[in-house]
Each structure stands twice: as C-alpha cells, then as structure tokens.
Amino acid sequence: MNTPDHARLLVHGATGRMGRAVLRLAADTPGLSVVGAVSGSRPPQRVVDGVPQFSASEIGGVPAFDVAIDFSLPEGFDRVLGLCVARGAALVSGTTGLSEGQQQAIDEAAGKVPVLVAANFSLGTAVLSQLVERAARALHGWDCDIVETHHVHKKDAPSGTALVLGESAARGGAQARYASLRAGDVVGEHTVQFTGLGERLELVHRATDRDVFARGALHAARRIAGRPPGRLRLADLLG
C-alpha cells in the first residue's frame, strides 16, 4: 500500500450520478489520485479524461490501487468487494439495497481489508440518526413513521438511509413503519415523524446536492487507506 497521505483511488460505478460527482470532486482532492474507473456496461461510457476505464467484466485488469469508492448497484457489489480483498485494498461503499448475504460477505472481507459501507455520507443524516434514537426513547408509545422521497430512477426501497434511521428508532424502543415516494429529480429527503395523541414531532433531512455524499466518501477514502483490516463506521473516520 502507498503511504496514507497519498492513495491511489479506483472509482466503481463511475458513470452513475454518484460516480460522476466523485470523479469531478476527486480531481481537486489532495492526497488522492484516480487511477481507474469501472462501470457496468461494455464498452464503458467515457466519463473522465486521462484515466483508464473498464467495464464490470474487465475489472480484473484495473491497475494497482489503495482504495476503491463504490456507488453502484447490489449486482456489482460482490465483484468490487472481491477485487479489494484480492488486491489488499480498502473499500468505501455507498451502495444500498445490499442483501443479508452481502452484509455477511462484508464482515468476512473486513477480516482482510478495511471496509466502510454507509447508506448515507452526509453529516446531517448522521446527526438525524442520533436525534431519532433520542426522540424514540423520550416518546415511548408514540407511532414512528419514516417517509423517504427520492428521484424516479432510484431502484431500492425503502432507502438505505431510511433503514438505518429505523435501526436508530429501534435502539430507542420504537418500531418504525416506512413509506417511499419516487418523484422527479429529488436528491434525497428523509422525514421521521413521531405521532402522539394531539401532537406530532417531525425530524427532516433534505439533501439538495449529491456533492455532499461524494465529499463524504472522498473524505472517508483518504482516511481509510492504509488502515488495518476491519469494518469501520463513518464516525470512525470523521475529523
């Protein structure tokens, strides 16, 4: 592995909404250089100059790298996880909709390389998660509902973030119900509402720009490269 102050980055899911944002912002991120970009289709659509691009079936041919950022789909995830293990590289993934089996594979991979899989890379939802747990604990017996709204192209539902917020509510003793809306080009909105008799508390997060997620993932990639194996949380890499 290179020294942690300069890491070679592979972008997986490079042609997608998130992959493009990561590539654009990576160009101005000190301590990281993009050495390869992978996407699903063959031949890969050209999205970046001066960086070799690969389709999913060509992934074995990517050059040496220290850390991969993955925003793809569950069907592409196993390959990038396996590649990171084979190359001894770290993985930062924001892909949502992963199966139970894929979660177990992440735990196994984390015995060999550092891995961070996070459903949401924004600071605001990290704080929202803490607030939801606190509210659930304080509002015992109230109904808890999580409503998430995303763009019409989003495939998984409920969103990964909604499920994480549901886990926070459960830690506070509330069993959340979920509702999903797919509308226009909404980047990502999550409302957690606690309803009692004659009153309702709403906690809302609205992402208006995907760069928020891309910046969070790039920050994590800089921090995770060169670490010992293990499954990390976003909070482990903040600061």
Ligand X SMILES: O=C(O)C1=N[C@H](C(=O)O)C[C@H](O)C1
Ligand Y SMILES: NC(=O)C1=CN([C@@H]2O[C@H](COP(=O)(O)OP(=O)(O)OC[C@H]3O[C@@H](n4cnc5c(N)ncnc54)[C@H](OP(=O)(O)O)[C@@H]3O)[C@@H](O)[C@H]2O)C=CC1
Binding site for ligand X (CB under 6 A): 96, 119-120, 150, 154, 159-161, 188
For residues 94 and 172, which CB has a smaller minimum distance to ligand X in the complex?
A: 94
For residues 27 and 201, which CB has a smaller minimum distance to ligand Y in the complex?
A: 27
Count interface residues toward ligand Y (CB under 6 A).
28
Between 192 and 221, how does the x/- string for binding to ligand Y read (CB under 6 A)?
A: ---------------------x--------
Whether 155 sits among the annotated catalytic residues: the reply is no
Residue 76's binding partner out of ligand Y, ligand X, none, with CB under 5 to 8 Å set by partner kind: ligand Y
Whether 150 sits among the annotated catalytic residues: the reply is yes
Between 135 and 174, how does the x/- string for binding to ligand Y read (CB under 6 A)?
A: ---------------------x---x--------------
Q: Could you give the C-alpha distances from 183 to 122, 190, 208, in angstroms and in order?
A: 21, 13, 14
Is 15 a known ligand-binding residue? yes
For residues 3 and 41, which CB has a smaller minimum distance to ligand Y in the complex?
A: 41
